[in-house]
Structure 1
């Protein structure tokens, strides 16, 4: 099976005039996140990513990141890559297309655009905007520890997005990958050809705090929510929250839904790239404290900027600001009013 191998962060060209390709993924690999090689598969077992189409378009390619620790292994042939319609997670629905005997190159993002080894039958699966589809990779034989295998990201696993077809006794049964111990999202992706008109979207930011007034020396928590209202996916959105002087962040976590992905957590200022399909959302939960010497209004602003080639139709909601006054009632804390 001939195939095209592309390194991470390769920008895919348009497949046809009047259309643009969008890579659909659950994982965060390539956004500064690390990954782990996953072994332990038996002959005939499979891993699957449950992906969300960003538009009314056509699935043109599938991708699998295949790697060994040395990234220098020989090419391997495995059983198949199958595209399914969504069923009831973790069990896929009907088969939409299959690539039999895919050849995988170690250390790269392998990509397939054809169903046959002569590159004459293109992969074409019509998709609706927001439709969930499944890309499943099946091993011909078990990977050898130290050799190449599938890769997962390392910043947590999303619910309802990663499946395993595991051999139990003599039967293959579909499982939620997290139920079998997987702790990251499979680096298995799809490339969807979207109409050029879907080059605009509306990414909105909201910001709240757990207190209406702050007390110097005490805790204060923020919640930053970023959502994509469509119609296009915002797969390369920058999020920036530079916290105000006098406020120290101890930690923050990020949770994603609707096929979105983000780094799971950190500390200090938030500066990262996120993936926001249509209807996707990420929520940052920020924990910190206000310095004891802080006075005056404490103002925090969070911003999300959509990356090219997508543009945002509403700049007014890309930044959210919140101003919190000090608690001036502290005069009576020691009972002086008595």
Structure 2
């Protein structure tokens, strides 16, 4: 059973997030709201918050709110602040980083950005968007059970599978359990700061085209294959693909297949004019079938174009259009010396 001391709080921060940094938390504690000091810990026990990053980036700081009943208690040096991979609640996964001997000041959210006391080895744990990780404080000594200082919860009801305690269950035996099983009815004010990587709006969309056969015969069928791909790094939703076919190319029917998470209209007739979705590394392929008019002469020119939609930008405009110029088969025969 944990022992809790409930009171209102005015929060003071001992650190601050930069422009690209996001504070990740489960708790709802804010200035002049109520919470509870949980002082029923013994040496070796831990309070742990399961947090989820909203972005790709690096964990660059851990935060712990430390509070006594009256305030002004002497600084405490505890066992460690540990950052784990998620594991299976309530058991964390592998240890990613450990800050040894964190010094905690009463009445503030203490922030830790370095692994060593000389502040030379920065905390840095890579995470990907929507990844869950665990931040835990290990107690080096038991807090005063009536005064604290100790860790704080927001006394606002538990989020499921987000708060845990590494508890001494008998003698030297410790085990992980949820806050609910330990009768703690709030979310730990234990947080992390994630430095989010700047997202790119740049997507290199390219178009290629082939024809079969590689020259045309008037009155015969002709097939084009048009591929629109995105080399990234950003996705290119709403990319506009157009192909206005030559007047001599008649009875046009086309199908579209997508790969790599892309999307496009499945089939159509006549000219192509549609918006397609292109995640980075994906492509769509149009297979176009038609007949060259019996009266066709000269070079048959076809061009397909793909243009990204704002706010996405394309760093290479030279590969957004593919153009094929097909000569009639009869011209190629005479060019090879037949008469």
Task: Sort the TM-score into its range (normalised by shorter chain).
Answer: 0.5 to 0.7
Q: Distance in 1 between matches of 2:24 and 2:12?
A: 16
1:95 positional shift: 0.3
SS in 2 for 1:47: strand
Conserved 8 A contact 1:73-1:106: yes
| 2:197 alignment partner in structure 1 | 195
Q: Distance in 1 between matches of 2:135 and 2:100?
A: 13
| 1:49 alignment partner in structure 2 | 49
Q: Which runs of 5+ in 1 are unaligned?
A: 1-5, 15-19, 200-312, 314-338
SS in 1 for 2:61: strand
1:102 positional shift: 0.4
| 1:152 alignment partner in structure 2 | 153
Question: How has the CA–CA distance of structure 1 residues 31 and 198 changed in structure 2, closer, same or farther, with 3 Å as cutoff?
Answer: farther
Conserved 8 A contact 1:67-1:151: yes
Conserved 8 A contact 2:81-2:137: yes
Query: How many residues were matched structurally?
Result: 191
1:9 positional shift: 10
| 1:12 alignment partner in structure 2 | 17
1:71 positional shift: 1.5
Q: Distance in 2 between matches of 1:90 and 1:184?
A: 15
Q: Distance in 2 between matches of 1:10 and 1:192?
A: 13
Higher relative contact order (CA 8 A, sep 6+): 1
1:179 positional shift: 1.0
Conserved 8 A contact 1:13-1:21: yes
Q: Distance in 1 between matches of 2:84 and 2:66?
A: 21
Q: Distance in 2 between matches of 1:134 and 1:22?
A: 16
Q: Distance in 2 between matches of 1:163 and 1:134?
A: 10
Matches within 5 A, 1:192-271: 192-197=194-199
Q: Distance in 1 between matches of 2:110 and 2:192?
A: 11
Matches within 5 A, 1:83-232: 83-144=83-144, 145-169=146-170, 170-197=172-199
What TM-score, normalized by structure 2, do the two folds share? Answer: 0.54
RMSD: 2.2
Q: Distance in 1 between matches of 2:199 and 2:58?
A: 14
Q: Which runs of 5+ in 2 are unaligned?
A: 1-10, 202-310, 312-339
| 1:232 alignment partner in structure 2 | none
Q: Deviations over 1:83-132 (max 9, x none)?
A: 00000000000000000000000000000000000000000000010000
Q: Distance in 2 between matches of 1:171 and 1:152?
A: 25
What TM-score, normalized by structure 1, do the two folds share? Answer: 0.54
SS in 2 for 1:179: coil
Q: Distance in 1 between matches of 2:124 and 2:23?
A: 15
Q: Distance in 1 between matches of 2:117 and 2:126?
A: 22
Q: Distance in 1 between matches of 2:96 and 2:33?
A: 31
Question: How has the CA–CA distance of structure 1 residues 120 and 9 changed in structure 2, closer, same or farther, with 3 Å as cutoff?
Answer: closer
| 1:73 alignment partner in structure 2 | 73
Higher Cα Rg, which structure: 2
Question: How has the CA–CA distance of structure 1 residues 77 and 11 changed in structure 2, closer, same or farther, with 3 Å as cutoff?
Answer: closer
